[in-house]
Structure 1
């Protein structure tokens, strides 16, 4: 039998407890089901005493950031306010672990820490969908994907939540066989283990019960052209319908017009960029297809009740 793998979890203040549980419990259950000590795990945090999750649960950790020993895998896990809590000490610890040959990974917004440490350049990575827009703008050298996890890159990443369980089950299967991974999933009453390529957000068809490939195609085009919005007539041509037909499709299934839906997508992206990055209002306007900052400000205020230059202050 191969020696037990030792996984370490570097927990950053306000880390997501759901992802934490979905990371550790599959390892514990794998030991239980197999009857063998296949996995060990340790917790690391700044200060070396304890760290608090975003839901208020406090976890006692095994050690601080200094002199981290070698582990088989080291995952960094953060939460909604990751950027406020990631320090130079965190980045130094991750870089040091990398130079020692430790296999690294990130869960949820822990991907930010690896990106800031310069360890994800040139590779594919996943992060929770709420952080996509800001992350893509800040780290263009990283190939950000909308998959639930990435396990075929030098550094594995999971988007958080149940995607963390998907990643762990896939790692268990890779090392100990699919039968054990299925048994672990059964113990978790988890009967829909996803491959890494699965999309994070539930598809439009699944969320609304729609069965309109043309609508889905049009929305896909809109999402891909937020920075340089395509005209509705051109989108209709790409989809293979007339402009009038496309308007009827949106009205029937979404009770809105294609033009309004496209504007809402752009404003959603703008709000994400304002909350997730330090981009100026002018840069955000340009990144979401608004040629005039004044027009952007008026439309944004109408949609969200606050001008874009005050959006960040409102959330602090």
Structure 2
């Protein structure tokens, strides 16, 4: 496909990539070359939702801050380690604009309007789109753990945050206990009460959930997915995965491809 080449007054000020699911399979070299050319000519480029994946594939996000939807962040981080990706609502780095999608696109748009015009216009636009405030780039994409899990115990929430921050190299229960100043037995009791399972089981499940996202969103070999999620071998990973999801990691990918092709 031949992409348009604008010149002079016809050249756009900004080119935005709107993208959704299955983005990792998009390999249009002409589109990538066009994005690079427009960017090099001074056109601002941006990506909504998984649009950051396209910009990274075009080579535009090396050492740049960017945002992507939280569900796609694990696979993106593995595929493009040179990109500085954050779970923020949106990121603006020089002439590159990315947002996590959904209502974050509105927040980024309002930020751009505020930069180019004034607060009065921003407020008028907010009234038209029925929103009462402009969220900052660093506002959370997801609900806080307390609301998301329905857990009130601060110690349990701290432990879960530790687990989520250490998926590739899991902490031992002793290390976790040292962090939160509790005994192993106290942690076991808390998790049984608050989460309905042992801390080891919960930790395993969130590692497998991360693995599932990587299997679906990336082309990483299964053994690399296993390592990225803290498993010592592909066979142990496959065994645990099958026990939780009733299918192998390989079958997960096959099922996903068939679903997208349907």
Instruction: Work out whether the TM-score is over 0.5.
Output: yes
The answer to whether the 8 Å contact 1:226/1:288 transfers is yes
Query: Any gaps of 5 or more consecutive residues in structure 2?
Result: 258-262
The within-5 A match list for 1:193-212 is 193-212=134-153
CA distance, structure 2, for counterparts of residue 242 and residue 187 of structure 1: 54
Q: Which residue of 1 aligns with 2:234?
A: 293
Q: Which residue of 2 aligns with 1:264?
A: 205
Q: Which residue of 1 aligns with 2:178?
A: 237
Could you list the per-position Cα deviations for residues 252-309 of structure 1 after superposition, in whole angstroms to 9, with x for gaps in the alignment?
3322222111101110111111111111111111111111221111110111111112
The answer to whether the 8 Å contact 2:24/2:218 transfers is no
Q: Which residue of 1 aligns with 2:15?
A: 74
CA distance, structure 2, for counterparts of residue 85 and residue 152 of structure 1: 24
CA distance, structure 2, for counterparts of residue 248 and residue 181 of structure 1: 51
Q: 1:153: Cα distance to partner?
A: 4.4
Determine helix, strand or coil for the equivalent of 2:116. helix
1:175 matched to 2:113? The reply is: no
Pairwise CA RMSD of aligned residues?
1.7
The answer to whether the 8 Å contact 2:22/2:217 transfers is no
Could you list the per-position Cα deviations for residues 217-250 of structure 1 after superposition, in whole angstroms to 9, with x for gaps in the alignment?
2122111111010012211211232222323333
Q: Which residue of 1 aligns with 2:78?
A: 137
Could you list the per-position Cα deviations for residues 134-170 of structure 1 after superposition, in whole angstroms to 9, with x for gaps in the alignment?
1101111111101111125441110100111111111
Q: Which residue of 1 aligns with 2:3?
A: 65
Answer 1 or 2: which has greater helix percent. 2
1:158 matched to 2:96? The reply is: no
The answer to whether the 8 Å contact 1:147/1:200 transfers is yes
Q: 1:127: Cα distance to partner?
A: 0.6
Q: 1:191: Cα distance to partner?
A: 2.3
The answer to whether the 8 Å contact 2:177/2:187 transfers is yes
Question: Could you tell me the TM-score, scaled by structure 2's length?
Answer: 0.90
Q: Which residue of 1 aligns with 2:128?
A: 187
Q: 1:66: Cα distance to partner?
A: 2.2
Mark the CA change 1:300 to 1:190 in structure 2 (over 3 Å): closer, same or farther. Answer: same
Q: Which residue of 1 aligns with 2:89?
A: 148
Q: Which residue of 2 aligns with 1:35?
A: none
The answer to whether the 8 Å contact 1:215/1:250 transfers is yes
The answer to whether the 8 Å contact 1:124/1:153 transfers is no
1:107 matched to 2:48? The reply is: yes
- Please list every run of at least 4 consecutive aligned residues from structure 1 whose deviation after the TM superposition is greater than 6 angstroms: none
Could you list the per-position Cα deviations for residues 33-70 of structure 1 after superposition, in whole angstroms to 9, with x for gaps in the alignment?
xxxxxxxxxxxxx6xxxxxxxxxxxxxxxxx7221452
The answer to whether the 8 Å contact 2:156/2:191 transfers is yes
Determine helix, strand or coil for the equivalent of 2:42. coil
The answer to whether the 8 Å contact 2:48/2:99 transfers is yes
Determine helix, strand or coil for the equivalent of 1:151. strand
